[in-house]
């Protein structure tokens, strides 16, 4: 069930409905539960729509028009496992003075004043039993866009590449990177 809950947020309501309709006859046959579980396992990394975010942060404004480098905000990406999401303090570096009259920035300022982090909704998430580390990928010269698409043109970040096991393994094979189970599984 742990796997199931890790995978469920990747599936949109529409997809769930379509799956539901498709497997109803199977459910009646009794084999449905297994079929659903198999489907969910096979579809880990299902490409999803953009989730709603607590503040309307727009990459096309920041990374696009303002051309702020990805690594200015995602500081861990070249050296750590996690890319990291910038803190409110990092946003305030600019928004202490930029666009302070806008409602969305006032929302940000309220977080700053009350010292509460913004609870961003994750877009990409590998299951808990998988180990993904950014650093070796960036050090191997892979561009963010290889896995995340053209984020600088997105108003809302959405997942554009499956990043499921077959996808990871396919690229590892092409690049002679490790295919050991233990490389990616804890």
Shortest Å distance, C-beta 167 to ligand HEC:
6
Give the C-alpha separation, 140 to 26, whole Å.
Answer: 45
Q: What is the DSSP string of 97-142?
A: TTTTTSHHHHHHHHHHHHT----PPPS----TTB---HHHHHHTT-
Q: Residue from 8, 27, 33, 133 that binds ligand HEC (CB under 6 A)?
A: 133
User: Judged by CB under 6 A, does residue 83 bind ligand HEC?
Assistant: yes
Q: Does 72 interact with ligand HEC (rule: CB under 6 A)?
A: yes
Site for ligand HEC in 103-132 (CB under 6 A): 104-105, 108, 120, 122-127, 130-132
Residues 6-35 that bind ligand HEC (CB under 6 A): none
- Which range of residues in 13-21, 28-36, 137-145 is near ligand HEC by CB under 6 A? 137-145
Stretch that binds ligand HEC, among 15-23, 28-36, 97-105 (CB under 6 A): 97-105
Shortest separation between residue 75's beta carbon and ligand HEC, angstroms: 10
| Given 19, 36, 142, 160, the residue binding ligand HEC (CB under 6 A) | 142
- Nearest-Å Rg of the Cα atoms of the chain is 19
Under the binding rule (CB under 6 A), the answer on residue 45 touching ligand HEC is yes
- The answer to whether the CB of 160 falls within 8 A of the CB of 49 is no
Distances (CA, A) of 131 to 14, 38, 128, 186: 29, 22, 8, 6
- For the four alpha carbons of 125, 74, 159 and 56, in that order, the dihedral sign comes to positive
């Amino acid at each position: 069930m742990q796997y199931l809950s890790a995978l469920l947020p990747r599936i949109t309501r529409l997809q769930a409905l379509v799956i539901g309709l498709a497997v109803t006859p199977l459910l009646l046959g009794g084999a449905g539960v297994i079929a659903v579980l198999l489907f969910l396992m096979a579809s880990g990394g299902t490409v999803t729509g953009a989730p709603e975010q607590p503040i309307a942060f727009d990459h096309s404004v920041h990374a696009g028009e303002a051309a702020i480098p990805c690594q200015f905000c995602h500081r861990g990406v070249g050296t750590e496992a996690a890319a990291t999401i910038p803190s409110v303090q990092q946003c305030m570096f600019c928004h202490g003075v930029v666009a302070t009259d806008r409602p969305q920035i006032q929302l940000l300022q309220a977080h700053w004043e009350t010292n509460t982090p913004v609870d961003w909704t994750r877009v990409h998430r590998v299951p808990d039993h998988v180990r993904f580390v950014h650093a070796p990928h960036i050090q191997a010269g892979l561009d963010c866009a290889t896995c995340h698409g053209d984020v600088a043109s997105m108003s809302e970040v959405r997942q554009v590449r499956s990043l499921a096991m077959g996808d990871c393994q396919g690229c590892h094979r092409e690049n002679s990177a490790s295919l050991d189970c233990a490389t990616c599984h804890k």
